[in-house]
A and B are shown apart, each in its own frame.
Chain A
Amino acid sequence: MLFNSFEFFLFLPIVLAVYWLLKGDFKKQNVILLAASYFFYAWWDIRFIFLIAVTTVVDYNAALIIQHGSTTFKQRFISVMFLIFFSVFLGFISWKEEAEWDVVQNAILVTTLLSISIYLLPLIVAKFKTISGAKLALSLSIISNLTILGYFKYFNFFVDSFTDASFFLFGIEPSFITLSIILPVGISFYTFQSMSYSIDVYRGQLKASKSLIDYAAYLSFFPQLVAGPIERGKTFLPQFQRKRNIENGDIKFGIWLIIFGLFKKIVIADNLAIFVNTVFSPYDNGELLTTPENGLMVLLAIYAFSFQIYTDFSGYADIARGTAKIFGFHLMVNFRLPYIATNPSDFWRRWHISLSSWLRDYLYIPLGGSRGGPFKTYRNLLLTMLLGGLWHGASITFVLWGAYQGTILILYRLLGVESAGEQSKPIMKVVHVIWMFHLVCLGWLIFRAQNVQTIYLFLDAIFTHMFVNQAILDGISTLEFYLIPLFIYQVLQVKHKTLFPQKIMTAIPNFHIWFFTIMSILALSSKQSSEFIYFAF
């Protein structure tokens, strides 16, 4: 279900009404949230709610074993019942839709194995010392999450890459089977969220949830289920374990975030997408091998894409935060004006903060961070960013993008300018911001291109033949038209040092901002709405 869809505008008020009716009983509210979240996810593909159920049960049990060394009979029983319920449900759906039964067979197999593990694991762990038992449970949690992610997201990519490499190096083309695997939407987000929960419990930073419902509702919370932010258990799970107070300010701010997110998505991102696609799409299938006619048009399209991806993804994050707010939840801020970053580290503190901080805390620092001297720091940076790139998708361009991000982080450190621009005078700061923005744009070219030759052809066009014509002037006016309001709003955010400047404005400017935003959504939204870009990850 898309946030900008008809179904969502029916779904949200119904869920909200039931949720508000149950105020005062947060346990029942959690049940409603869980049911609503699974329904929300099932709208996309009903089969994959079983996958979330599996991830939920695995990490719920793993965390309990990590903390207590065992699980209670009740916890085991509820876990198994939870799995059986979804297996039966999957079977019912398959029977009703007359779908292939192999999915159901796999679900029954997974349920059986997992149910046995749920009963056996505490017994096995009991044989170990506490620490080793916790380690074993944590390892199993991580392995199962990475297996799910690896199978659904990367299986074909690795098989193809291995085949290509064998052919390139040895002239042998091994015949592996690639499978027609559907990528479950949001899988990268919720598996990372679930994994961080087990790790935090292992690190003693968080208490394991005793209630499966609380944990399942936390993991599948529909506003952030399919495209984040990747919430940490230690800040988000406790919100499911207590009564939520919804204040008028929260509702007003929540509604504003939803409206502003919609404005970013359907007014800016979807309209810019039309312009971007006219330049990129002809190259997407890799068959067009001629350099684009005008490098300036390519450059404009890259600028446009940089704002398309920003407004698309941050628009989603705003809607997610706004929706969560009206349910009384506080999600983390995922974007903090990333294009005013002055250096790569600053950029990653502002862009997709939940992923970059996840990678920092669960990958970069465990790898050694900057503790082992320059070489190890660079290695850790490069590895972290490579995996960050790969997280976005099984494609060589994402790997290249990750490598590029790692490289510029390293280069800034090598040159001793890792904090460049942060303490500079305003004029120099602007120079740093513009330079950094262009470095980011080069990254977006790698990210958006569907193949390596497009990157080469586009760079060739930019550096060899740029000229101004009417199409360029039209392109510039399109960008101006959609970006000036965003720019003005961001200047207000910077000036007032808040992401919600209206709260310190008087009624008249406040009214005009609301009016302009709502009117833009109604009158300027693109007729060609598209899915959020990050749904693909």
Chain B
Amino acid sequence: MKRLLKLILLIGYIAVLAEVFLRFLSPIPILPRYVSTTDYGIRGNMPNADYQHITEEYDINVKINSKGVRSNKEIEYKKSAGIIRIVTLGDSFMLGYGATLSETFLSQMLNSMPDKYKVEIINLGVSGHGTAEELLALREEGKKYEPDVVLLSWHGTDYDDNIRSGLFDIKGGYLTQVNNSYLPAVKLREYLFSFKLYEFIATNSQLYGWLRELVSEVVQDFRVELISLFKVQQSVSKSDKHNYPRNKDKKRELSIHLLLEVKKEVESMGAKFIVFDIPSRSSRTSFWSTFPEDVRLSEILVYNPIKDFSYNKKNILYWEKSAGHFTPIGNQIVGKALAELLEKKKYFD
């Protein structure tokens, strides 16, 4: 009994010490993820969620409507006459982490469009989504909105996300859905959030936020590495094989297939497709693209803001202490450039 008490005290002391360590030496952004189960087996934004994201750099409110779309109004599936609809798919960048609703690049894009177009945006971005989940979100939810344009954001983490979700695999050279559901710890989170104490800790403790990220990162990395090592079939051409490290081959090939499938799906809806390639960065001024270079993807319209970002090197374009999403300036540059590109490519005509 005495030993048990000692152990509990020790764990408590370590927890306090860790909280102090993090608050002083490595402040953790508190970015609770309000996601829940959708009818189609993957994660979606929790309907009607209303929460704060607090970091050293910002304090932002996020509102989700009843259909899981980041918006302060309800949007009907049925499109009104004369309206051009853009359905957007992506991860936390697309959802607009780090930006108020009016600051997101989607709002900036809308503001930069000529008045002659009546455009409506349906943001289906969900933090943590990769192309595999985005494909299902488009099929099951995005389609209902009768999109004219589908904008998908690509991020370097998608390679891993697509493998990790285990939703699709390549069999005999074809993309095949091998699982109907991917809900990493969503049910557990929903259950835990029903306790007030838990919700308090989740939204206030830096140690909690850090542990959650750490555990999920370790579990995710472990899963990706294991799947890459043992499960995903090799469908890479022999000549390609020597150009890439073993695991990257599999991740890359699956992602290419998924992107092509999204394109096919968009075309079947009679809509136009554009990809926003979110640059990765090694410093405030050094960016690179992670979008897979492949002849099969060459027909897709891809917007990459590296050139625009390079012109604006003196500005801080990504938050530096808060999970690295776009700052308002970064959002503004992207939004304006996207609007110009869509106009130039006559996507609304």
Interface residue ranges, A against B (CB under 8 Å): 6-7, 97-99, 274, 277-278, 281, 481, 515-516, 519-520, 522-524, 528
A524 near B283 with CB under 8 A, answer: no
Contacting pair A524 B282 (CB below 8 A) = no
- Rounded to whole angstroms, the CA-CA distance of A519 and B207 in the bound complex is 11
- CB atoms of B242 and A523 under 8 A apart: no
Q: Is B17 an interface residue (CB 8 A)?
A: yes
Asked if B26 and A523 sit within 8 Å, CB to CB, the answer is yes
Are A97 and B241 in touch, CB under 8 angstroms? yes
Determine whether B319 belongs to the interface, using a CB cutoff of 8 Å to chain A. no
23 pairs of residues in contact across A and B, judged by CB atoms under 8 Å: A6-B221, A6-B225, A7-B225, A98-B241, A99-B242, A274-B283, A277-B283, A278-B283, A278-B284, A281-B286, A481-B25, A515-B14, A516-B21, A519-B18, A520-B25, A522-B214, A523-B22, A523-B25, A523-B26, A523-B210, A524-B25, A524-B26, A528-B282
Q: Does B3 contact A (CB under 8 A)?
A: no
Minimum distance in angstroms from A484 CB to a CB of chain B:
11
Contact residue among A7, A515, A520, A522 (Cβ-Cβ distance under 8 Å from B17): A515
The smallest beta-carbon distance between B31 and chain A, in angstroms, is 16
Residues in B neighbouring A523, C-beta threshold 8 A: 21-22, 25-26, 210
6 more A-B residue pairs beyond the given contacts A523-B26, A523-B210, A524-B26, with a C-beta to C-beta distance below 8 A: A6-B222, A274-B282, A481-B25, A516-B21, A519-B21, A523-B21
Say whether B346 faces chain A, with CB atoms less than 8 Å apart.
Answer: no
Q: With a CB–CB cut-off of 8 A, which chain B residues contact A481? A: 25
A7 nearest in chain B by CB position: B225
Number of B positions contacting A (CB below 8 A): 20
Chain B, residue nearest A485 (CB): B25
B238 sits at the interface (CB 8 A): yes
Q: Which residues of B have CB within 8 Å of A519?
A: 18, 21
| CB-nearest residue of chain B to A524 | B26
A204 to chain B, nearest CB (A): 47
**Contact flags B219-260 to A (C-beta < 8 A → 1, else 0):** 001100100000000000010011000000000000000000
Note all chain A residues with C-beta closer than 8 A to B25.
481, 520, 523-524
Name the residue of chain B whose CB is nearest to the CB of A5.
B225
A83 → B minimal CB distance (Å): 26
Q: How far is the CA of A523 from the CA of B24 in the complex (A)?
A: 12
| 10 A-B pairs with the lowest CB-CB distances in the bound complex, closest first | A523-B26, A6-B225, A519-B21, A278-B283, A524-B26, A98-B238, A519-B18, A523-B22, A522-B214, A528-B282
Least Cβ–Cβ distance between A254 and chain B, in angstroms: 23
Chain B, residue nearest A481 (CB): B25
Chain A residues with CB under 8 A of B17: 515
A515 closest partner in B (C-beta): B17
What's the Cα separation between A515 and B222 when bound, in Å?
Answer: 24
Q: How far is the CB of B20 from chain A (nearest CB, A)?
A: 10
> How far, in angstroms, from A520 to B22 measured CA to CA in the complex?
9
> From residue A46, how far is it (CB to closest CB) to chain B in Å?
11
In whole angstroms, what is the CA distance A519 to B225 when docked? Answer: 24
In the complex, A98→B284 CA distance in Å?
42
**Closest beta carbon of chain B to A357's beta carbon, Å:** 37
Q: Which residue from chain A places its CB closest to the CB of B221 in the assembled complex?
A: A6
Task: List the B residue with the shortest CB-CB distance to A516.
Answer: B21
Residues of chain A with a CB closer than 8 A to B18's CB: 519
Inter-chain contacts of B21 with A (CB < 8 A): 516, 519, 523
| Shortest beta-carbon distance from A274 to chain B in Å | 7
* Contact digits for B279-312, partner A, Cβ 8 Å, 1 yes 0 no: 0001111100000000000000000000000000
Q: In the complex the two chains form, what is the Cα distance from A515 to B17 in whole Å?
A: 9
In Å, the complex CA distance between A480 and B5 comes to 39
For A515, the chain B residues whose CB sits under 8 A away are 14, 17
Residues of chain A contacted by B214 (CB below 8 angstroms): 522
Q: Which residues of B contact A524 (CB under 8 A)?
A: 25-26
Chain A residues with CB under 8 Å of B284's CB are 278
- Which B residue sits closest to A528, measured CB to CB? B282
Return the chain A residue nearest B281 by Cβ. A528
Measured between beta carbons, the chain A residues less than 8 angstroms from B241 are 97-98
Which residue of chain A is the closest to B241 with respect to CB atoms? A97
Cα distance, A159 to B24, chains bound together (Å): 55
Tell me which residues across on chain A come within 8 A of B242, comparing CB atoms.
Answer: 97, 99
Shortest C-beta distance, A176 to chain B (Å), equals 27
Tell me, rounded to whole Å, the shortest Cβ–Cβ distance linking A29 to chain B: 27
- Kindly identify, within residues 1 to 57 of chain B, every residue whose CB is under 8 Å from any CB belonging to chain A: 14, 17-18, 21-22, 25-26
A278 to B284 alpha-carbon distance, docked (Å): 9
The docked-state distance in angstroms from the alpha carbon of A84 to that of B210 is 53
Residue from the set B25, B221, B222 with the largest chain A CB neighbour count within 10 Å: B25
Residue of A nearest to B210 (CB): A523
- B211: nearest chain-A partner, CB-CB: A522
